[in-house]
Amino acid sequence: KPAGLAVQGGAGVQQSLEDLLGAFAKSNGKRPRLVHRLDRETSGVIVAARTKPAAAFLSEAFAGRDVQKTYLAVVCGGAPEPRSGEINLALRKTNQRGLDIMVIDASGQSALTRYRTLAATPAAALLELSPETGRMHQLRVHLASIGRPIAGDARYGGALVLDGCPVPRLMLHAKALTFPHPAGGELRIDAPVPADMAALAAPI
């Protein structure tokens, strides 16, 4: 999925990934079903099921945490300390000035993110992220909570200019998914890093 494409329709959405899946509809009108989501500004791998039984199987795999998710993010402020570790902070959804946001709240839903630093400068770092849970804005809030917001993430404190370079969007990419296949075995799907993110990460 490219950055900027909403997964589902809603207010202000003219075209969504769900709409585009209509191009793969069968003659009876049945179309592939999305089994998870990505934020509109996040690029990368997203899975759709071709049949209803496959959708149920894959949805259960996501719910049961049988899916390995790998993301890449460019964050502000250099390498986190420690350079690798985990963030285990519960999240709760709230609304501020008409925007849905997630906040850290011990009474919220559990959320766990593992991270490791791949490269860093004093101004930025390239991180590999492995979320164990799939809460709304989880990676964005967790990284902001350790003082390393994702570049381009104005909602959670990410800079729009990084070391003199403009940040065109949220620098978060769903790099790979490994999941059980409905027909048996495992499947891994990788998505190449988009050019705008690769250009921003190159000097790191």
Catalytic residue, candidates 19, 39, 66, 163: 39
198 CB-side CA count, 13 A:
6
Name the region of 36 (left: φ>0; alpha: ψ -120 to 50; beta: rest).
beta
* Euclidean distance between CA atoms 43 and 106, whole angstroms: 30
- Parallel/antiparallel/unpaired status of strands 43-44 and 172-180: parallel
Nearest to 112 by CA among 132, 134, 130, 92: 132
Q: Decide: 116 and 83 in contact? Cβ < 8 Å.
A: yes
* Euclidean distance between CA atoms 73 and 193, whole angstroms: 10
39 in active site: yes
The residues that are catalytic are 39
